[in-house]
């Protein structure tokens, strides 16, 4: 079924003269012919209808043979009487507009109730007829549909009238999708006559049609309306490009088809020989579709390096219509057996229908001459739904809507009255009372012309617009889930929240666990750059407005309710922290590059001034000293020794970035009675961040407790000690009573800012320059070794970080 763009519908009256009596037949006069016609109608029991409705009745009876024509006749008479005397900008009587809109709907196969509402759709808006009168005459269902497409008055809403009108239509569509179907048919006829509008009005109406109504037609699956609207908008906004595409179409149509039609005949013979009953036709492309193909050709250089021109196969595609679903795959087998299929061009929308109910097999094969032909394969029912979308499912409020012949078809699980995308759209529109914000969000949401399907690890199916990120998926699972998400796993791999999801991805959203009141968290402002759906953006903006961002405070003391760290003065210390064999009383300096802490395995190296620098075994700085010929001295930790200001240790935390992470980490460290000497935060990379802290330990055993506390902070998945040994010594782990002798880093390299001369051999408790010839270690030379790791504990749709 096709609806010719820009042409009057067959038999449609366009003026009162054309709608008048027809030419007499034979020798009967007009009066005698009228009496004979009425007698024939009465004899057959059919209710007479006005002559202007005859073409509409014929189109309607092709889809609904038992339709109530009396109801249509009453609706037409009321509409004609209400609009009598009104003219359109084209000069035609106004009644020609509702007649044309109703004819479009009749050709689509809409039900009688929809046609009655279409005939009356402008009466409440443009005439003295009231909604109560419509409801009294035709019932509440017709009144609801008429009210749904009635525009709001500019007198009441001003500049916001258009946005609020669309909001009203969408809300009404949420209860009955036929409201939007009538609106689309109404806009199609208005676009057909747009040439009678002022140029400025043409552009404005065309842009609204492009941004809102064409995407809505796509989502409702009404392709015949969408294609014609696209062509008229294209001709209005881009007349030169339209003229070029139309000229190419006309030139191709004027010449015999030497490619597609012969191939269609060959394919039909091949399918007949294989015993597959099928109808093979050539479907020409409409102007916008041809224009898109031409743009792709121009962007792809040919063998000679120049842009390619249009090819014969660009002007159409082959459509194969079969009887059963299994026949679709039989046709596919014949195609791929007899011709060469192109890799990556096969798409199965039969097993996995698109969000707008569309089902077909898509493939492309290469012919002997090198031409590539696209082929669509579908059943008759699929073809009907592909053309008319939700209209093919019937009136949603009628029993058995959609036809009883569907059996166990996939469409049986679809609610035509409320598609899934519409339900999501209605959810976020309630949160945007501002008309401008609603309009911007609506056009942004409709901008994506396709959707993707993502499956959670819990088995839940999520429908998202193409280009959506993990942030969008998190908020689709629920606003609370979105606010508490701290990471994601896509196809089994940890990834950032900014990752763009692809069709068929397997997803897990990792959320912060615990009491939200005790650990307040939420989205960061940076998330807005990754949110593609209005629902996610609105939720993030609302949370940020309710929770003004607070600057993180770095604490260097204990948190409230925690004991203060003990004071450590040189006078309170006993012997030196280590004993050097053969050098009693020698000054000892614990290296800042690897921050040794008992019971780490350590080595000593003599430096200038008779002092001894102590490095962890395997420290790159110590290994360079050894390579320079310095002999390692035997070092032993003193049981009762300690530096004057306590042991310093450098800890590195790898985490998923989130608000208040720095504040929570510093609070966790201070809560263990440990002072923070310095803190470094590197710029986030793909929402992952690295924090490096230098802490002052009251006792060596406090190191393991601090690392455990850091691991308990939500979002932290790795805690390690930089400049780790190459393999010697025990590794400190959260949960052990004492730190090991050389926990490895999570990726090598020292903390940001290290590497100066004081890093290697400064005196214990000080920060002065090195006394030896070594200028300090070079950061980044430490061999990688695993640090303290975490495990993921998945609970439904969220995950908790737990140490082990």
Cα four-point dihedral sign 577, 582, 583, 588: negative
* Cα distance between residue 606 and residue 629, in whole Å: 11
* Cα distance between residue 73 and residue 93, in whole Å: 18
The H or E element that residue 171 is part of is helix 161-175
* Cα distance between residue 373 and residue 366, in whole Å: 6
Cα four-point dihedral sign 260, 230, 442, 166: negative
Q: What is the DSSP string of 114-169?
A: HHHHHHTTTHHHHSS--HHHHHHHH-HHHHHHHHHHPPPPHHHHGGGHHHHHHHHH
Angstrom CA distances, 526 to 484, 497, 522, 659, 684, stand at: 15, 11, 12, 10, 11
Largest Cα–Cα distance in the chain?
138
End-to-end CA distance of the chain: 65
461 Cβ partners below 8 Å, 6+ apart?
453, 454, 455
Q: What is the DSSP string of 467-519?
A: T-BHHHHHHHT-HHHHHHEEEEEETTEEE-TTPBP-TT-EEEEEE--S-TTTS
Contact at 8 Å (CB) between 673 and 565?
yes
* Cα distance between residue 614 and residue 772, in whole Å: 12
Specify whether 348 is catalytic: no
* Cα distance between residue 804 and residue 792, in whole Å: 10
Q: CB count, 10 Å around CB of 34?
A: 15
Angstrom CA distances, 606 to 224, 587, 635, 756, 761, stand at: 87, 10, 12, 19, 10
Burial group, residue 29, by CB count within 10 angstroms (0-12, 13-18, 19+): exposed
* Short-list 243, 245, 330, 232, CA closest to 287: 245
* Short-list 518, 456, 504, CA closest to 799: 456
* Cα distance between residue 196 and residue 51, in whole Å: 27
* Short-list 102, 88, 87, 104, CA closest to 195: 88
Pairing of strands 461-465, 578-580: unpaired
Query: Catalytic: which of 125, 431, 457, 680?
Result: 125
Contact at 8 Å (CB) between 515 and 481?
no
Burial group, residue 525, by CB count within 10 angstroms (0-12, 13-18, 19+): exposed
* Cα distance between residue 472 and residue 311, in whole Å: 40
Contact at 8 Å (CB) between 614 and 590?
yes
Specify whether 445 is catalytic: no
Query: Catalytic: which of 126, 141, 257, 348?
Result: 126
352 Cβ partners below 8 Å, 6+ apart?
453
Q: How many residues does the chain have?
A: 804
Contact at 8 Å (CB) between 49 and 77?
no
Angle 114-118-121 (CA atoms, 0-180°, nearest 5)?
Answer: 130
Torsion of CA 352, 357, 360, 361, to 10 degrees: -20
Q: Among all residues, which ones are annotated catalytic?
A: 125-126
């Amino acid at each position: 079924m096709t609806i010719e763009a820009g042409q009057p519908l067959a038999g449609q009256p366009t003026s009162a003269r054309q709608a008048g009596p027809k030419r007499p037949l034979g020798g009967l006069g007009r009066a005698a012919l009228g009496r004979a016609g009425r007698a024939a109608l009465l004899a057959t029991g059919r209710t007479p209808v006005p002559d202007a409705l005859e073409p509409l009745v014929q189109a309607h009876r092709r889809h609904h043979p038992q339709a109530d024509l009396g109801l249509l006749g009453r609706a037409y008479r009321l509409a004609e009487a209400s609009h009598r005397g009104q003219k359109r900008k084209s000069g035609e009587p106004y009644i020609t507009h509702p007649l044309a809109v109703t004819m479009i709907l009749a050709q689509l196969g809409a039900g009688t109730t929809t046609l009655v509402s279409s005939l009356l759709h402008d009466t409440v808006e443009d005439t003295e007829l009231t909604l109560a009168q419509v409801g009294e005459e035709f019932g509440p269902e017709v009144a609801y549909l008429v009210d749904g497409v009635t525009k709001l008055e500019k007198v009441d809403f001003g500049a916001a009238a258009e946005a609020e009108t669309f909001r009203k239509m969408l809300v009404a569509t949420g209860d009955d999708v036929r409201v939007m179907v009538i609106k689309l048919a109404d806009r199609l006829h208005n676009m057909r006559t747009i040439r009678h509008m002022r140029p400025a009005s043409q552009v404005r109406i065309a842009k609204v049609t492009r941004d809102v109504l064409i995407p809505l037609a796509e989502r409702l699956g009404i392709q015949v309306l969408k294609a014609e609207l696209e062509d008229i908008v294209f001709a209005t906004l881009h007349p030169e490009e339209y003229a070029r595409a139309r000229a190419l179409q006309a030139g191709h149509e004027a010449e015999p088809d030497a490619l597609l039609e012969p191939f269609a005949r060959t394919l039909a013979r091949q399918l007949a020989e294989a015993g597959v009953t099928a109808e093979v036709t050539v479907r020409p492309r409409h102007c916008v579709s041809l224009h898109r193909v031409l743009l792709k050709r121009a962007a792809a250089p040919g063998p000679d390096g120049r842009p390619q021109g249009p090819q014969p196969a660009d002007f159409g595609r082959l459509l194969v219509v079969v009887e059963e679903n299994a026949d679709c795959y039989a046709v596919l087998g014949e195609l791929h057996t007899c011709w060469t299929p192109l890799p990556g061009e096969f798409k199965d929308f039969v097993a996995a229908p698109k969000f707008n109910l569309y089902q077909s097999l898509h493939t492309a094969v290469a012919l002997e001459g090198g031409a590539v032909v696209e082929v669509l394969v579908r059943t008759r029912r699929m073809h009907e739904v592909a053309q008319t979308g939700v209209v093919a499912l019937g009136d949603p409020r009628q029993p058995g809507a959609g036809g009883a012949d569907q059996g166990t078809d996939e469409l049986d699980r679809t609610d035509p009255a409320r598609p899934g995308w519409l339900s999501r759209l209605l959810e976020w529109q309630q949160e945007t009372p501002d008309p401008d914000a609603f309009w911007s969000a609506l056009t942004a949401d409709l901008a994506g012309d396709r959707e993707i399907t993502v499956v959670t690890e819990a088995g839940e199916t999520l429908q998202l617009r193409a280009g959506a990120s993990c942030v969008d998926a998190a908020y689709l699972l629920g606003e609370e889930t979105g606010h508490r998400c701290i990471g994601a796993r896509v196809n089994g791999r940890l990834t950032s929240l900014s990752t763009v999801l692809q069709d068929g991805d397997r997803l897990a959203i990792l959320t912060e666990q615990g009491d939200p009141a005790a650990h307040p968290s939420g989205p960061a402002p940076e998330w807005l750059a990754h949110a593609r759906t209005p629902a996610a953006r609105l939720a993030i903006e609302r949370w940020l407005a309710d929770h003004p961002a607070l600057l993180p405070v770095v604490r260097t003391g204990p948190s409230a309710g925690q004991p203060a760290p003990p004071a450590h003065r040189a006078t309170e210390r006993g012997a030196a922290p280590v004993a050097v064999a053969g050098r009693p009383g020698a000054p000892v300096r614990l290296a800042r590059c690897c921050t040794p802490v008992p019971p780490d395995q350590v080595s000593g190296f003599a430096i200038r001034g008779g002092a001894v620098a102590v490095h962890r075994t395997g420290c790159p700085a110590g290994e360079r000293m050894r390579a320079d010929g310095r002999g390692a001295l035997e070092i032993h930790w003193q049981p009762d020794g300690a530096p004057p200001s306590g042991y310093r240790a450098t800890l590195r935390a790898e985490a998923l970035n989130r608000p208040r992470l720095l504040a929570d980490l510093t609070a966790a460290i201070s809560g263990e009675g440990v002072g923070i000497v310095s803190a470094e935060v590197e710029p986030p990379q793909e929402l992952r961040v690295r924090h490096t802290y230098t802490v002052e330990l009251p006792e060596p055993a406090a190191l393991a407790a601090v690392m455990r506390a850091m691991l308990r902070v939500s979002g932290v998945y790795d805690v390690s000690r930089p400049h780790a040994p190459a393999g010697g010594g025990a590794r400190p782990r959260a949960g052990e009573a004492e730190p090991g002798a050389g926990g490895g880093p999570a990726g090598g390299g020292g903390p940001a800012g290290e590497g100066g001369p004081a890093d290697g051999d400064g005196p214990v408790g000080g920060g002065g320059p090195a006394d030896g010839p070594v200028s300090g270690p070079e950061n980044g030379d430490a061999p990688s070794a695993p640090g303290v790791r975490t495990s993921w504990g998945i609970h439904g749709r969220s995950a908790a970080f737990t140490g082990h």
